[in-house]
Structure 1
Amino acid sequence: MNISYKSDIIPDAEEVIELFIQAGLKRPTDPERIALMLKNADLLITAWQNDKLVGICRTITDWVWCAYLADIAVFTGFKQSGIGKEMISLTRERIGPQCMLLLLSVPTAFDYYPKVGFNKEDRAFSIERVL
């Protein structure tokens, strides 16, 4: 499987919507909102098989203390191929060792994150979005 990773492009919103839907992530399907989510991210790592987007890792960070891994998605047919793990590794490399990487997990991924180096935390709080 020939996968290339990029951090210098913003993929088309429609491609990302297709990826989120296919990967089973509940995310907005409004192209304008997705485009803004991508544009306003501090770091995007994407995975490509030729010209097809097969994975994305979107991070928001201050680069010196913490980084929030807001989205990680891999096409179902490419799961268990190491793409997610590699995107996380590239993200950690880019944010540096001084940054904590944190995320909120969907229930179906609870078992995945400890396998790729995350610690389970019981001290998080959130206020849900209205829209």
Structure 2
Amino acid sequence: MIYKNELDGISADMLKGFFVDWPNPPNPETHLKLLKNSSKVIIAMDRMSNQVVGFITAISDGVLSAYIPLLEVLPAYKNKGIGKELVHRMLKELDDIYMIDLCCDDDLVPYYDKIGMMQTNGMILRNYNRQSGS
């Protein structure tokens, strides 16, 4: 597995199969755009297939706060430590930031708890008719 924190050489064709179970997922071109527009991004690539198999993004003011909106690993690559490695690498990238927030489903709370994050309350608003990003 190769981990990169830049997108040089990454094309939309290398981003197929993500956003599993989303009713209206972004297409690979929109996915590439959201990666490019993130403050920080780390991708996991399978060195044999040269495909992106996982990614994590962060949005930050670069001073006090950062938010991790997306972490995903392709289904065939889950339970191999890729997601955990992506989170650890992103937290290292954000080491100089005071607050790092993310939202997750209840079943993922133990996952993030194991890496030292604390559960808190949060509020969200979703505009599902814009879920595809277009």
Question: How far is 1:57 from its partner?
Answer: 0.4
Question: How far is 1:17 from its partner?
Answer: 4.6
For 2:125, the equivalent position in structure 1 comes to 127
Identical aligned pairs, as a percentage?
Answer: 25
Between the aligned partners of 1:60 and 1:43, the Cα distance in structure 2 is 7
Question: How far is 1:63 from its partner?
Answer: 1.8
For 1:29, the equivalent position in structure 2 comes to 26
Question: How far is 1:77 from its partner?
Answer: 2.8
CA RMSD of aligned residues (A): 2.3
TM-score, reference length from structure 1: 0.79
Between the aligned partners of 1:15 and 1:99, the Cα distance in structure 2 is 34
> Gaps spanning 5+ residues in structure 2: where?
none
Between the aligned partners of 2:22 and 2:93, the Cα distance in structure 1 is 25
1:45 is aligned to 2:39: no
* 1:77-103 superposed Cα distances (whole Å, 9 cap, x missing partner): 322222111111111111223332211
Assess, with a 3 A threshold, how the Cα gap between structure 1 residues 106 and 9 changes in structure 2: closer, same or farther. same
TM-score, reference length from structure 2: 0.78
Comparing 96-105 with 67-76, greater Cα deviation is found at: 96-105
For 1:84, the equivalent position in structure 2 comes to 83
Assess, with a 3 A threshold, how the Cα gap between structure 1 residues 27 and 47 changes in structure 2: closer, same or farther. farther
Comparing 97-106 with 8-17, greater Cα deviation is found at: 8-17
Question: How far is 1:72 from its partner?
Answer: 0.3
Question: How far is 1:113 from its partner?
Answer: 1.6
Between the aligned partners of 1:97 and 1:63, the Cα distance in structure 2 is 9
User: What secondary structure is seen at the aligned counterpart in 2 of 1:20?
Assistant: coil
Between the aligned partners of 1:8 and 1:103, the Cα distance in structure 2 is 21
Assess, with a 3 A threshold, how the Cα gap between structure 1 residues 15 and 65 changes in structure 2: closer, same or farther. same
Between the aligned partners of 2:43 and 2:125, the Cα distance in structure 1 is 28
Is this contact kept in 1: 2:66–2:97, CA < 8 A?
Answer: no
Between the two structures, name the one with larger relative contact order (CA 8 Å, sep ≥ 6): 2
Counterpart code for 1:4: I
For 1:54, the equivalent position in structure 2 comes to 53
For 1:95, the equivalent position in structure 2 comes to 94
> Gaps spanning 5+ residues in structure 1: where?
none
Counterpart code for 2:6: D
